[in-house]
């Protein structure tokens, strides 16, 4: 039996590593879940309405009445969650009026920032749920930007399955966890 020199072993190792990197990089990633239950939909066209220019300047204080509207249960601004279908990140038409209300508030308060937190239910791997949560928060951010909100006023993040509002293993509970939550400056 012949032994290989250290230089030959190094060259073979480097060649094998290069082959693995090339082979792995050219293959599509393997799905983590059975895609047969995944619904593929294109978002519907969002009708935009002109929004008046901002009436505040950066650094200007927000009037207490505006802040009160964010907490008033009778105000649409107190509704801060957008819910999604299973395995979906398409913003449903039923949430359009809520998005319009929040876009008008942000347009009127240029110094306000919004944080959009994407969430998923416990089903699926941690990585899958983090990615789905990010797609959900990005979908809300995109819908608001189509309504005229500056990208600089919004940030989208994913919490995955880490912040459930309900912990029972039922469809009703899982539906409550498939959401995007809206937070304003001072709340995050």
Q: Could you state, in order of their start, the residue ranges of all structural domains in the chain?
A: 80-188
Environment class of residue 54 by beta-carbon count within 10 Å: exposed (0-12), middle (13-18) or buried (19+)?
Answer: middle
Under 8 Å between Cβ of 148 and 51: yes
pLDDT at 14: 55
Contacts (Cβ under 8 Å, ≥6 apart) of 136: 82, 84, 89, 118, 119, 120, 158, 178, 179, 180
3-state DSSP call for residue 179? strand
Environment class of residue 36 by beta-carbon count within 10 Å: exposed (0-12), middle (13-18) or buried (19+)?
Answer: exposed
Separation of alpha carbons 174 and 152, rounded Å:
32
More confident residue, 29 or 16: 16
Of 162, 164, 185, 184, nearest to 175 by C-alpha is 164
What is the per-residue DSSP string for 79-123?
--EEE--TT--PPPGGGHHHHHHHHHHHHH-TT--EEEEEE--S-
CATH label, 80-188, candidates 2.40.30.270, 1.10.10.10, 3.30.1330.60, 1.25.40.10:
3.30.1330.60
pLDDT at 139: 98
- Residue 3: its H or E element: none
Under 8 Å between Cβ of 104 and 156: no
To which residue do tokens 């416990």 refer? 122
* Percent of the chain residues topping a pLDDT of 90: 60
Q: What is the mean pLDDT of the chain?
A: 80
pLDDT at 1: 55
> How many Cα atoms within 13 Å fall on the side-chain side of residue 51?
24
Provide the edge-to-edge strand list for the sheet that holds 154-160: 81-83, 179-184, 114-119, 154-160
pLDDT at 113: 96
pLDDT at 67: 79
pLDDT at 5: 65
Give per-residue pLDDT as tens, 93-123.
999 999 999 999 999 999 999 999 999 999 9
Contacts (Cβ under 8 Å, ≥6 apart) of 188: 115
Q: Is pLDDT of 8 > 70?
A: no
Q: Is pLDDT of 20 > 50?
A: no
More confident residue, 69 or 163: 163
Give per-residue pLDDT as tens, 23-68.
444 444 444 444 434 444 444 444 444 444 434 344 445 566 677 8
């Amino acid at each position: 039996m012949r032994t290989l020199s250290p230089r030959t072993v190094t060259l073979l190792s480097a060649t094998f590593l290069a082959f693995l990197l090339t082979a792995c990089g050219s293959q599509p990633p393997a799905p983590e879940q059975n895609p047969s239950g995944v619904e593929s939909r294109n978002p519907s066209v969002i009708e935009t309405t002109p929004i008046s220019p901002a009436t505040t300047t950066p650094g200007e204080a927000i009037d207490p009445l505006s802040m009160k509207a964010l907490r008033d249960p009778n105000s649409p601004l107190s509704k801060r969650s957008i819910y999604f279908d299973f395995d979906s990140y398409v913003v449903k038409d039923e949430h359009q009026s809520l998005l319009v209300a929040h876009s008008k508030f942000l347009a009127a308060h240029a110094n306000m920032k919004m944080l959009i937190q994407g969430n998923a239910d416990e089903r699926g791997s941690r990585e899958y749920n983090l990615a789905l949560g990010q797609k959900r928060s990005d979908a809300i951010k995109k819908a608001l930007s189509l309504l005229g909100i500056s990208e600089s006023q919004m940030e989208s993040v994913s919490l995955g399955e880490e912040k459930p509002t309900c912990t029972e293993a039922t469809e009703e509970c899982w539906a409550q966890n498939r959401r995007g939550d809206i937070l304003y400056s001072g709340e995050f």
